[in-house]
Amino acid sequence: MPEPARRTLVHGGTLVTSAGVAAADVRFVDGAVAAIGALDPEPGDALVDASGCFVLPGGVDFHTHIDAVFRGSIRTADDWRTGSAAAAAGGTTTVIDFCSPGPDQPLAEALAGWRARVEEQGPLVDYGAHVILVQPGEERLAELAELPGLGVSSVKLYLAYPGRVMSDDRALFRTLQRAAELGLLVLVHAENGHAIDVLVEEALESGEVEPEWHGHTRPPLTEAEAVSRATALARLAEAELYVVHLSSERALAELRRARADGGRVHGETCSHYLVLDESLLIGAPREEAAKFVCSPPARTRDDQAELWAALGDGGLDVLASDHCPFVLHGEKIVDGDFTHIMNGLPGVEQRLLIGYSGVERGVYPIERLVEIASAEPARLAGIYPRKGDLRVGSDADAVILDPAVRTRFSAETHHSAVDYLPYEGMEVPGRIRDVFVRGRAVVADGRLLDGPGDGRFLARATRSGDPSALPASDEGDTP
């Protein structure tokens, strides 16, 4: 006998989608949005009252590092179970993470291994992968043609960290050329690794070892230069570029210039650059300052204001988290100077509410929050409108946000496995009340529900793909 349809009617809320803001009910049937409008309950509907609340598309986080290994052996604090729990609790129902192939490992093999590991851990949200390339040669570049068939439509290069993961300008330019042919999006970590290395050496020679020197040795010009170079090379290759984690006004200005010049360039900033600033590191005790070390570093309050404004005016396209948590003692902080502190912060759980604080302060309207936190990352990922929006036929990924309640961030209550929070004690307007992944409640009344993770790998369309053809999720053999 066929199972009865799973039906939910979310009623009485204010629906926010790419089509605008309106009082509307939404019906989910079997994991998809079946109807939107003034809807009467029908037999079999589970009723969810969203009165006084916003109903948003589930968040799409374009930049997370869950269960990732850095510097050869240091693993981020979250596995896919805890990392996806943190995402879900924070209203994010899709994450695009990273597959990092070994030096001589074929991309297809690396991706199969990555997928098997993620599936085994039972994530609560749907997921995809960008593939990281390190100084790719011609053999590796030839393999890029396989990526679209494997459900991957983006690659990432680092212009920082020479000797570890950096790619030089030839590798970057050749990748851009290949990506342009294949319709792949190229992500860059834009900082000038060589210049930073010199500044670090000079600081250490002068005896500067404290965490604040992580920031002093990565000034905004090292970021702006890399943005300028990457955007110019992308233009030359006629490729589409995405600059991850923009942190400074100077770098943003380079991005704006490239766009005004006609470049197909997209920009992301991350929640921490909007609320953390360099004063948290300067003069602070080592143990405290280390909590805020990330690359690029937290900047000034003026930079923050520019980033908020750019999210509002379209100068930036995406608000991501760059969730990259390290256990504070023994992983994030080890003995030695500032270069030994792991770069990266947790944030997947706080991203959406930090973004919502911009709505509360009047920086941008709530429909713009849906663009930067859901719709645009879904478009860039090649999963829109299945993800990132609520329209008939979309996956029933939704968030009920209660604007009347405030949330206080704390490591005591968050769902990540990491043992600290750079946002400890911060209070923001709004509360993530309910979250649905393909129609199934994963958060109800602010509480994460126990249950089997059935997050699915998302096969993503390339930038040159047919946008009317909805990419299917690969359901594999899992029920």
Q: Which residues bind Zn ion (CB under 5 A)?
A: 322
Residue closer to Zn ion (CB basis): 322 or 331: 322
Give the whole-angstrom CA distance, residue 405 versus residue 430.
5
For residue 295, the minimal CB distance to Zn ion (Å) is 9
Six token digits for residue 186: 């190229």
Q: Does residue 140 contact residue 105 with C-beta atoms inside 8 Å?
A: no
Separation between Cα atoms, residue 333 and residue 275, nearest integer Å: 22
Q: How far is the CB of 409 from Zn ion (least distance, A)?
A: 20
Whichever of 377 and 439 has its CB closer to Zn ion, that residue is 377
CA distance 32 to 396: 4
Q: Sheet of 440-444: strands edge to edge?
A: 20-23, 14-17, 54-57, 398-408, 427-437, 440-444, 447-448
Beta strand 69-70 pairing with 59-61:
unpaired
Provide, rounded to whole angstroms, the least separation between the CB of residue 185 and Zn ion.
15
Smallest separation, CB 63 to Zn ion (Å): 6
CB of 141 to Zn ion, least distance (A): 23
Largest separation between any pair of C-alpha atoms in the chain: 76
Radius of gyration (C-alpha) of the chain in whole angstroms: 21
Nearer to Zn ion, 54 or 242 (CB): 242
Q: Which residue is nearest to Zn ion (CB)?
A: 322
Nearer to Zn ion, 296 or 385 (CB): 296
Residue 322 or 402 having the CB closest to Zn ion: 322
Name the residue among 144, 66, 59, 65 with its Cα closest to residue 110: 144
Task: Give, as one character, the DSSP assignment of residue 446.
Answer: T
Q: Is 394 exposed, middle or buried (0-12, 13-18, 19+ CB in 10 A)?
A: buried
Q: Which pair of tokens denotes residue 479?
A: 């029920």
Between 91 and 325, CB nearer to Zn ion = 325
Identity of the residue, 18 or 64, whose beta carbon is nearer to Zn ion in the bound complex? 64
Smallest gap from residue 304 Cβ to Zn ion (A): 19
Q: How far is the CB of 205 from Zn ion (least distance, A)?
A: 29
Give the CA angle between residues 290, 287, 419 to the nearest 5°: 80
**Cβ distance to Zn ion smaller for residue 294 or 398:** 294
Distance CA 145, CA 452 (A): 35
Nearer to Zn ion, 119 or 322 (CB): 322
Answer whether 323's CB lies under 8 Å from 395's CB.
no
Q: Residue 348 or 363: which CB sits closer to Zn ion?
A: 348
For residue 218, the 8-state DSSP code is S
The span from the CA of 390 to the CA of 400, in Å, is 13
CB 159 to Zn ion: min, Å: 13
Nearest by Cα to 417 from 121, 59, 184, 127: 121
In the complex, the smallest distance separating the C-beta of residue 34 from Zn ion, rounded to whole angstroms, is 37
As measured in angstroms, the least distance from the Cβ of 343 to Zn ion is: 9
Q: Measured from the CB of residue 98, what is the shortest distance to Zn ion in angstroms?
A: 8
91 or 347: CB nearest Zn ion:
347
Listing DSSP states for 335-397 in one string gives: SSSGGGSPP-B--TTTHHHHHHHHHHTTSS-HHHHHIIIIIHHHHHHT-TTTSSS-STTSB--
Instruction: Name residue, tokens 């240091």.
Output: 74
